[in-house]
Amino acid sequence: MTKFAPNGNLDVSALKAVFPVLERPVRGQRLVYLDSGATALKPLRVIEAIDRYYRFSSANIHRAVHFLSEEATSLYEAARSGTKTFLNASDEREIVFTSGTTAGINLVAKSFVAPRLKPGDEILITAMEHHANIVPWQMLRDQYGCKLVIAPILDDGSLDFDAFSALIGPKTRFISCVWTSNATGIVNPVKKIVGAAKAAGVPILIDAAQTVAHEPIDVQSLGCDFLVFSGHKLFGPTGVGVLYGRYQHLEEMPPMIGGGDMIKSVTFEKTVYAEPPARFEAGTPDIAAVLGLAEAIKFVTEDVGFAAIKKHEQKILEAADAALKDITGLKIVGTAAPKAPIFSMILSNIHPHDVGSILDLSGVAVRTGHHCAQPLMARFGVPATARASFSIYNDEADVAALVKALWKTREMFA
Amino acid sequence: MTSVTDLYQAVILDHNRAPRGEGVVGDATNCAEGFNPICGDRINLTIKLNDAQITNVGFTAQSCALCRASASVLAQTIHATSLEQAIEMGHAFQAMLTGGEWNYGGDAAVFAAIKRYPARAKCVALPWRTLVTALTSGRVIDSSLDRNSATHPVVSTEDSKRG
């Protein structure tokens, strides 16, 4: 039982009240925010933590003995400890604060994978990756002459697991795989995927950007080598993310960015790098954002709770799925289960940008475009879709508003 | 007028439904292709100039409704104008999208509402940017060459949102 789920069910109207953006009318109407897949809204608890840091604890970390600096340092390291617990990592030193998912993947690509590559080696990803989990590997391919291998997906949008397993071979040096597709919402069988990688002795990174707000993550039970996510998809601030890495891997990795706070000693002849995670956190980090992320984790785990989140989102998923199926000419891209509450939609021959504009003019905010997943769009033969992504502050009324606006779109183009 | 009918006015919906000038001008003298990589809008303009007068305009578009309607309005507006005036219109139309005046008549003024919806301005501007390129970049099709080998200048909007 939590503050926002006193009887095990989410109290959505109480939740709506702690997300100030929802109070703002958009285009003269109640805002129906269905773009949490792009970024989740921020609750007061997070906003206040950021405000509190700048108002009362503003100081740099790991540097001075004065009161405010010590306080800021201890808050920052407490955030690391909270994140470790959140992911059930075995050691706080396995938590690296980054600027986001993209930065985490790039760090692993350049500092862990690149030094191990030999010509002809293969990096395995899937056809459902976000550009953030494609481009860094292409950059390695072009620089080191390795091969980027793409595991196919099936027509329902799910990973072709048999093909994926069969593509893991003696030349596979690394696997990087998304947990939940941002474009379709399809949730990969990540335990099986990590199991296949482990069986072949290949290290694996899991991109949990789109998972982290929807289900609990236990990196030890999962057994992955690396896992990344962004704070802003978890109701936290932008500009902060987390790289979880097994300590033995982090220890082997050279830093990608050099500077202050990542060293043990510096002379003009030689620098000795700090141990992880400091080694990967050069320069003054976004301290306020890290504290905001820590608060977001507390908000989700203490105030809301994943059990209630999953139950609520499953209910919304089913309600939206049923209502959308009734709309003539509406096609959902990616229909496999299990799914996060994300719907990538094509409405007859109406261009997604027209759909997005008419929805916006009805107060309904959705994402339109290729969702940073152009290869996935190409796989389904569409340039773009309109994507509605639901979160803890959405209810059946929001589903109804979406459906009504989609019907209105149809009528306009009839 | 609701905000929906402000952006998607009846005139615009009509041009989208029944576009004027859709097709390829077989004996075109000028052509260009416009592409917006962000939304995938793609437009091809073929224009026949005869003695510095526009005698025929054709477009094909794989695009949103606003871009298609804008191309249709363009075809209608520049038909039978001089080369010089068509270029002027191309610039004036783009200026109108950020608040400028449109003094050339026709249906084009309906797109003035776009200034209230800047995210869609690129869709509407694309045909007109492509027009200016077709008429000014010197990409005149030499009819003695194989049409397929003619160089089509490509207008691209690379500068907006990333993905």
Q: Which of residues 67-106 of B touch A (CB under 8 A)?
A: none
Convert the pLDDT of each residue in A246-295 to its tens digit.
999 999 999 999 998 899 999 999 999 999 999 999 999 999 999 999 99
Whether residue A361 and residue B39 make contact (CB cut-off 8 A), yes or no, is no
Residue B160 pLDDT: 40
Residues 6+ positions from B150 with CB-CB distance below 8 Å? B31, B139, B141, B142
A292 lies in the same domain as A331: no
Mean pLDDT for the stretch of residues B45-51: 95
Within-domain flag for A1:
no
Whether residue A384 and residue B4 make contact (CB cut-off 8 A), yes or no, is no
A91 lies in the same domain as A24: no
Q: Could you give the number of structural domains in chain A? A: 2
- By C-alpha distance, the chain B residue nearest A130 is B163
**Which residues on chain A are in Cβ contact (under 8 Å) with B65?**
350-351, 354, 413
**Which of the four pLDDT bands, split at 50, 70 and 90, describes residue B4?**
confident
- By C-alpha distance, the chain A residue nearest B40 is A383
Share of chain B above pLDDT 70, in %: 83
Minimal C-alpha gap between B77 and chain A (Å): 24
Residue B41 pLDDT: 86
In sequence order, the β-bridge partners of residue B155 are B34
pLDDT at B145 over 50: no
Within-domain flag for A141:
yes
A174 lies in the same domain as A318: no
Task: Please state which CATH class domain B3-139 belongs to.
Answer: alpha beta
Give domain limits for chain B.
3-139
A97 lies in the same domain as A119: yes
**Which of the four pLDDT bands, split at 50, 70 and 90, describes residue B155?**
low
Within-domain flag for A95:
yes
Distance, in Å, from the CA atom of A364 to the CA atom of A29, rounded to the nearest integer, reads 9
Interface probe with B: pick from A35, A134, A351, A380, most Cβ of B within 10 Å? A351
Minimal C-alpha gap between B120 and chain A (Å): 8
Whether residue A361 and residue B7 make contact (CB cut-off 8 A), yes or no, is yes
Out of A351, A362, A372, name the one closest to residue B163 (CB): A372
Tokens representing A11? Answer: 């109290």
Residue after which a domain boundary falls, among A284, A302, A320: A302
- By C-alpha distance, the chain A residue nearest B63 is A351
A94 lies in the same domain as A226: yes
Interface probe with A: pick from B2, B4, B11, B38, most Cβ of A within 10 Å? B4
Minimal C-alpha gap between A262 and chain B (Å): 31
Convert the pLDDT of each residue in B10-39 to its tens digit.
999 999 999 999 999 999 999 999 998 777
Q: What interface predicted TM-score (ipTM) does this complex get?
A: 0.83
Residues 6+ positions from A100 with CB-CB distance below 8 Å? A230, A231, A232, A238, A239, A240, A241
Interface probe with B: pick from A357, A367, A371, A409, most Cβ of B within 10 Å? A357
A139 lies in the same domain as A167: yes
pLDDT at B152 over 90: no
Mean pLDDT for the stretch of residues A296-321: 97
Convert the pLDDT of each residue in A64-83 to its tens digit.
889 999 999 999 999 999 99
pLDDT at A369 over 90: no
Helix, coil or strand: residue A118: coil
Distance, in Å, from the CA atom of B51 to the CA atom of A346, rounded to the nearest integer, reads 46
Minimal C-alpha gap between A372 and chain B (Å): 5
Residue after which a domain boundary falls, among A282, A302, A322: A302
Convert the pLDDT of each residue in A94-141 to its tens digit.
999 999 999 999 999 999 999 999 989 999 999 999 999 999 999 999
Distance, in Å, from the CA atom of B139 to the CA atom of B15, rounded to the nearest integer, reads 28
Task: Indicate the burial class of A269 (C-beta count within 10 angstroms; 0-12, 13-18, 19 or more).
Answer: exposed
A145 interfaces chain B, CB cutoff of 8 Å: no
State the pTM of this model. Answer: 0.92
Within-domain flag for A4:
no
A17 lies in the same domain as A89: no
- By C-alpha distance, the chain B residue nearest A351 is B64
Mean pLDDT for the stretch of residues A152-175: 97
**Which residues on chain A are in Cβ contact (under 8 Å) with B66?**
353-354, 357
What's the CATH number where A23 sits? 3.90.1150.10
A20 lies in the same domain as A56: no
Is the peptide bond preceding residue A277 cis, with omega within 30 degrees of 0?
yes
Within-domain flag for A392:
yes
Active site residues of A: 372
A264 lies in the same domain as A342: no
**Which of the four pLDDT bands, split at 50, 70 and 90, describes residue B153?**
low
Within-domain flag for A315:
yes
Residue located via tokens 């989208």: B16
Look up residue A262 and give its DSSP letter.
S
* Average pLDDT, rounded, for chain B: 85
Whether residue B123 and residue A384 make contact (CB cut-off 8 A), yes or no, is no
- By C-alpha distance, the chain B residue nearest A411 is B13
Residue after which a domain boundary falls, among A302, A320, A346: A302
What angle separates helix A352-361 from helix A396-412, to the nearest 10 degrees?
120
Distance, in Å, from the CA atom of B47 to the CA atom of B29, rounded to the nearest integer, reads 6
* Average pLDDT, rounded, for chain A: 96
Out of B4, B16, B64, name the one closest to residue A353 (CB): B64
The answer to whether the Cα torsion of B110, B114, B115, B117 is positive or negative is: positive
Mean pLDDT for the stretch of residues B55-75: 96
Sheet strands (E) in B2-161: 30-36, 41-50, 53-62, 154-156
Distance, in Å, from the CA atom of A83 to the CA atom of A88, rounded to the nearest integer, reads 8
Convert the pLDDT of each residue in A7-24 to its tens digit.
999 999 999 999 999 999
A211 lies in the same domain as A326: no
B123 interfaces chain A, CB cutoff of 8 Å: yes
A277 lies in the same domain as A316: no
What's the CATH number where A218 sits? 3.40.640.10
Look up residue B51 and give its DSSP letter.
T
Print the domain residue range for A227. Answer: 48-302
A375 lies in the same domain as A294: no
Distance, in Å, from the CA atom of B66 to the CA atom of A357, rounded to the nearest integer, reads 10
Convert the pLDDT of each residue in B115-140 to its tens digit.
888 889 999 999 999 999 999 985 55
Closest CA to A344 of A147, A222, A182: A182
**Which residues on chain A are in Cβ contact (under 8 Å) with B116?**
none
CB A344 within 8 A of CB A355: no
Distance, in Å, from the CA atom of A80 to the CA atom of B14, rounded to the nearest integer, reads 58
According to DSSP, the β-strands at A367-369 and A385-389 are antiparallel
